[in-house]
Structure 1
Amino acid sequence: MIDSYVKRTDEYISDLKAKLSIAFTEKYLIEMKLKDNFNLQRKTIENLEKNITTRDKLLFEKDEQLYAQERQIKKITKQLEDIMNEELSHRGKVNAIQSESKGNTHDKDIGNRDGSKTKVIIKESDFDKEKIEKELTELKTKLELTLSKLQETETELENTKTRLSKAMGDKLTDNNPNIADLSDKNRPTKLAERYAELYDNHWTDAFDVLQAFNQGEETVIEILINILKNVMIFCQSKALEQIKTLKKVLAFANEPVSTGVLTLRTFDGIKPFKIKSVLNQCYNISFESYIPNASLQISEDVSPDFWKVLKDARKALSGISLENLHQMFISNGQGSTNDTIKSALKVGKFTRECIEICWYMAVQDPPVTLGPISDKGSVFNADMYKAYTVSGTHVDFVVWPPLLLHEHGPILAKGVAQGYVRKP
């Protein structure tokens, strides 16, 4: 009896030790995550401070230009007032001369008895009148030129204000997901709605099609997730390829472009060699050149504004390139021996919708990304996942990955996972 009690006690203590070990591990992971988040936030703050400093400097320079132009406008306005006052003064003189001329007509009648003196007075009056009229003509010409110059200055001032506004807008929106273009029908919030509809509608239809091939539920779910991941990889690689090609064409470069630095960030649950296999065998894409979730870093020889123009051009033409992108994916997948790709061709509507949404995600600045996929047995994060058919404290398997505004960013759309309650 005592031995049985001691045995149960030992088992209980062992179980507590195991739970304590797990708790310490989870504590360590949380601390590491908090540390990473702190470093990321600090880096974000530093970048924001740098952007604010650059913006303030730009604003100061533009304010100096605007102040100089305003002073020029005031100067021209003062000249105009002086010219108009001078013109009024001359008009008064002309009126006085005209009145005097009428009086001189009477003098002319008298001058017939004293001819020479009267004729001299008339000639001097005519001479003064012609001189003043000539000066008036010159003043009118000068006034028209000044008015034209004033209009040009005002137009230049307005253009400067417009350019400043656009420059500040570009500075604020470049690689800044917190400022959305409300005129963009494919902005991140709209993509999140389509992403949710993809799961609610097309995912269900694709599930039924694949399950008809006598495949189990979890197997079909895994296939559909892999289709989404592979489409995302394909779209990200093509988005990078497009930017590099644009830069190469504009630079008339015959050599491969090396200014774009690619960094590896793999999806959770897919090993690097599997990604390499998918890219090389199925898509004919070099793993070393195009890797998932890669980001383009700005080289020193090209200004940030240049990359902004390229990214804007890519985004503006994203709808036009969709059909060709779909054809490339289908063409590269035909004849493939990869099970995921063969399944993708069987569920064409689901795959097409995945391509369209993932492409618009890839051309955002910064790109919208798929969130991390929780491991089996990990704590169920209700902020990141909704329950599939069973809720619980831990994750059994992931059905649909969450969507993030950008890498390590806030959640745009929750994923779906199957839960279970771990027994104590």
Structure 2
Amino acid sequence: MDGAGSLRTVDSTGARPSPNLSQTLPAKFPPMNEVPGDLSGATAGSGNLLKRSNSPERMDRKMSVSALEYNRLVESERMNSAKVEELTNRLSSFASKQLKENNPNIADLSDRNRPTKLGERFEQIYDNEWSEAFECVTGVGGEFREEDRVVKVLADIVQKVYEFCGDFAGQQLRRLESYFINGMTDIRWSYQSSNGDNTLSVHRNPEDKAAFYELPRFMRESMRSCAMASVPALCVMFKDHVYKEHFAVLPMKPRLEMYIDKCVECVFLMLVQQPPMYLRFPVKGDKMEYSEFKPFRKKGEIIDLCVWPAVLLHKDGPLVSKGSALPQ
């Protein structure tokens, strides 16, 4: 008997029996195996909602939206990558130009007329056209029967080509600068007036030197880029004037003319580099510098005759290609 005065039964084992929940729950609670109708309806409705959310039509719409978003992101990434590449190339090009400007030690490997290539071509002239011209001049006879005389006249031709091309390059640069300044300050505008007449308006501005501060650099670069356009006329001018004045005793032959034309082309291209490349012509009595000149026929310590000039990257600059000299 408990404190409330009620009796509790105990089985033979001494354990208390499990309570009957259906008897202990209040009458207002239905049995556990019965589900109210409204709750059953809610459950069924939830099942239908789940089925609708997983329906093929809805999944297709999700996949469609996702594919559009993916394509948009891919296109955006592609455009951004293109912009980055363009800006990188522009920055690289600008940095390259700044680095190469007035710095001959930095070579543009895409330029077939860069200094190292010109040095190689100049060496090839000595190996090929010089040898052909040597045989040609030797066959003339007379005073040119002596080899030393032939060697000297061929070297003298190269030196005159060097002087001629250097003088012309300076004149051409000044002329181009003058043309450009005149075109930018002598303002001319043609238009049709209201009465139908063609009219030209002209106004001359005073020259502003500050406005043309960068002009010499741009003109030199333009000369270098377009130098080959001047070469054919330079070859004709040299042969018509310089050659006839200094080498009239030597008749012009096809192989000799080829030698001259090759020298004019290569030397002019070297002189329009920035800074200009430099040809070193040793004179009689100079010490034989084997680091710059190869001996011609024999070795010695003192130079007797220049055979072929050495090529320097610029005046007092590093050696590009060796020359040749005849020692005493």
Shared fold by TM > 0.5?
yes
Going by fraction, where is helix more abundant, 1 or 2?
Answer: 1
1:227 positional shift: 0.5
Post-superposition, which runs of at least 4 consecutive aligned residues in structure 1 deviate over 3 A?
Answer: 157-167, 299-302, 341-346
Question: C-alpha offsets along residues 51-72 of structure 1, whole Å, 9 cap, x if unaligned?
Answer: xxxxxxxxxxxxxxxxxxxxxx
Match of 2:305, SS? strand
Q: What TM-score do the two structures reach when normalised by structure 1?
A: 0.47
Of structures 1 and 2, the larger Rg is shown by 2
Contact map agreement 2:295 2:326 (CA 8 A) in 1: yes
Partner in structure 2 of residue 357 of structure 1: 266
Q: What is the RMSD of the two structures over their aligned residues, measured on CA atoms?
A: 2.9
**1:394-409 matches, cutoff 5 A:** 394-409=302-317
AA in 2 matched with 1:379: K
AA in 2 matched with 1:233: E
Contact map agreement 1:235 1:362 (CA 8 A) in 2: yes
Going by fraction, where is strand more abundant, 1 or 2?
Answer: 2
Partner in structure 2 of residue 184 of structure 1: 111
Using the alignment, how far apart are the partners of 1:360 and 1:344 within structure 2?
27
Using the alignment, how far apart are the partners of 2:112 and 2:137 within structure 1?
32
1:173 positional shift: 1.2
Partner in structure 2 of residue 251 of structure 1: 181
**Residue 317 of structure 1: which of 226, 229, 251 is its match?**
226
**Residue 303 of structure 1: which of 213, 227, 230 is its match?**
213
Using the alignment, how far apart are the partners of 2:224 and 2:249 within structure 1?
30
Question: C-alpha offsets along residues 53-94 of structure 1, whole Å, 9 cap, x if unaligned?
Answer: xxxxxxxxxxxxxxxxxxxxxxxxxxxxxxxxxxxxxxxxxx
AA in 1 matched with 2:237: M
Match of 1:252, SS? helix
Tell me: higher relative CO, structure 1 or 2? Use CA pairs within 8 A at least 6 residues apart.
2
User: Identity rate of aligned residues, in percent?
Assistant: 30
Question: C-alpha offsets along residues 249-290 of structure 1, whole Å, 9 cap, x if unaligned?
Answer: 111179xxxxxxxxxxxxxxxxxxxxxxxxxxxxxxxxxxxx
Q: Structure 1 residues 405, 416: closer, same or farther in 2, change over 3 A?
A: same
Match of 1:307, SS? helix
Match of 2:229, SS? coil
Using the alignment, how far apart are the partners of 2:251 and 2:100 within structure 1?
36
Contact map agreement 1:223 1:343 (CA 8 A) in 2: no
Contact map agreement 1:227 1:344 (CA 8 A) in 2: no
AA in 2 matched with 1:338: H
Contact map agreement 2:303 2:325 (CA 8 A) in 1: yes
Where does the alignment leave 5 or more consecutive residues of structure 1 unmatched? 1-150, 255-298
1:337 positional shift: 4.0
1:411 aligns with 2:319: yes
Aligned pair count reads: 222
Partner in structure 2 of residue 206 of structure 1: 133
Q: Structure 1 residues 166, 309: closer, same or farther in 2, change over 3 A?
A: farther
Partner in structure 1 of residue 299 of structure 2: 391
Using the alignment, how far apart are the partners of 2:275 and 2:245 within structure 1?
34
Where does the alignment leave 5 or more consecutive residues of structure 2 unmatched? 1-78, 185-208
1:185 positional shift: 0.9
1:342 positional shift: 5.5
Using the alignment, how far apart are the partners of 2:252 and 2:183 within structure 1?
37
| 389-398 vs 224-233, greater mean Cα deviation | 389-398
1:400 positional shift: 1.2
Q: What TM-score do the two structures reach when normalised by structure 2?
A: 0.60
Using the alignment, how far apart are the partners of 1:382 and 1:173 within structure 2?
31
**1:10-409 matches, cutoff 5 A:** 164-212=91-139, 213-214=141-142, 215=144, 216-252=146-182, 302-304=212-214, 306-333=215-242, 336-339=244-247, 343=250, 345-346=252-253, 347-376=256-285, 378-409=286-317
Contact map agreement 2:115 2:313 (CA 8 A) in 1: yes
Match of 1:389, SS? coil
Q: Structure 1 residues 314, 374: closer, same or farther in 2, change over 3 A?
A: same
Match of 1:417, SS? strand
1:171 positional shift: 2.1
1:183 positional shift: 0.8
Q: Structure 1 residues 233, 300: closer, same or farther in 2, change over 3 A?
A: farther
Using the alignment, how far apart are the partners of 1:379 and 1:159 within structure 2?
55
Question: C-alpha offsets along residues 213-256 of structure 1, whole Å, 9 cap, x if unaligned?
Answer: 222222211111110011111111222222212211111179xx
Question: C-alpha offsets along residues 382-407 of structure 1, whole Å, 9 cap, x if unaligned?
Answer: 10111110112322322111111111
Q: Structure 1 residues 253, 234: closer, same or farther in 2, change over 3 A?
A: farther
